[in-house]
Chain A
């Protein structure tokens, strides 16, 4: 394995903590959103897919201590990290509109893969609000698979678009000197801003 970038090692714990805290703040503010993958996606965008996936994996393992079912959904958070790294390489996070569209990609992982896990492990009826909605959909005639897919995709779309917007603004606020030290920083550095800033210095 290629030696990991020195700064990446220290950003992974931060990403994990931000996933945690983001989710907690969302709960405290009683938001109908998860907002618990901001760290995964940001680290993926800054450092690449593997570090992003690590953030996701460790987050779910840590959460599993107090909420063990999260271990079943570890693949989602790993997927978010990998996708963030891939999209970042393609320069998607440089433009807000592209970032928002990317939200659909994350929602498909979250909702699609998520509902598959729910169906495989929990017969489609997970322990949560989406499980409730799935149940409701079943009583009006949907199959359990369709019900789980619809409810989880919807919940994830609602979550991932704001999440991605937040990630976009976080990335935009990171100073160039920090970005310069990160594996994918060179993609994210906004050359107009750099030249503007140095003109100001000169």
Chain B
């Protein structure tokens, strides 16, 4: 079943001349993780705003074509209800903390309070999420005084608590150190295993290779390449689109050049290791 479909969509921000998104077409299926990549300014965040319904509900401007979220035209969605359907997490950990709660536990509960959840159920739900994301040590802390990585984990917890079917995640780790990045990706992996539909914008293609089912490449607001992760991330054309190939793919191509090619172009480290193991015969 399609959860979001985008048909002939073009979008122009107010007071600008060029289109930020051009002639987009895509059918997104339920339960898959979609990696969205592209150079800076290629329209990734705008695309997220489209999927999240912020376009046209928060961002004015010119929207042509149709976006259907669960079979309903985005224009007909009550924008206040969309937040109960689609979760949204983005790069800046600091602006995602509400600033009105004094403990992490209460911060995570905020979305559920807004949804009007009864207290008993609410507390149980927050406990569940705290355990899932291993935030036990943080619950009594003031969310405003956490580190960036901790804040980002709390931001994830706050959205996950709301139990949306669809989650849009826009460069969640671009301001984080490697350790926090690993923690965030283990959370994304949890969401995948829960069967959520995920849209993930991420610069680090190696991580996209690990976690997404399909990849969409944007360049100048257009989808220039899309398909299964294996297919897209092993395509040398990516380099022309301002995107790096995963290290594993580069290695595979280098080995090809050196006439020591692998059976197929690997995109993740584990694939490379597997293939080399086979060759060496371990």
| Chains A and B directly touch (beta carbon < 8 Å) | yes
| B278 on the A face (CB < 8 A) | no
* Residue-wise interface mask of A (157-183) relative to B, using a CB-CB cutoff of 8 A (1 in contact, 0 not): 000000000000000000011001100
* Residue-wise interface mask of B (48-76) relative to A, using a CB-CB cutoff of 8 A (1 in contact, 0 not): 00000000001111000000000000000
**How many chain B residues have a CB neighbour from A under 8 Å?**
11
| B17 on the A face (CB < 8 A) | yes
- Shortest CB-to-CB span from A10 to chain B, Å, is 10
A194 to B60, CA, bound (A): 16
| A6 on the B face (CB < 8 A) | yes
Tally of A-B Cβ pairs under 8 angstroms: 29
Dominant secondary structure at the A interface:
helix
- Shortest CB-to-CB span from B81 to chain A, Å, is 15
A180 to B56, CA, bound (A): 13
Q: Tell me which residues from 176 to 232 in chain B have a Cβ below 8 Å from any Cβ of chain A.
A: none
A100 to B15, CA, bound (A): 28
Q: Which A residues are CB-close (under 8 A) to B59? A: 181
On whether the beta carbons of A180 and B15 are closer than 8 Å, the reply is yes
A177 to B45, CA, bound (A): 14
| Residue on B nearest A13 in the bound complex, by CB | B99
| Residue on A nearest B58 in the bound complex, by CB | A6
On whether the beta carbons of B14 and A180 are closer than 8 Å, the reply is yes
A136 to B52, CA, bound (A): 64
On whether the beta carbons of A181 and B60 are closer than 8 Å, the reply is yes
Residues of B whose CB lies within 8 Å of any CB of A are 13-18, 58-61, 99
Residues of A whose CB lies within 8 Å of any CB of B are 6, 13, 176-177, 180-181, 189, 194, 197-199, 201-202
- Give 10 nearest A-B pairs by CB, closest first: A198-B17, A180-B14, A194-B15, A176-B15, A201-B18, A180-B15, A198-B16, A202-B17, A177-B13, A189-B15
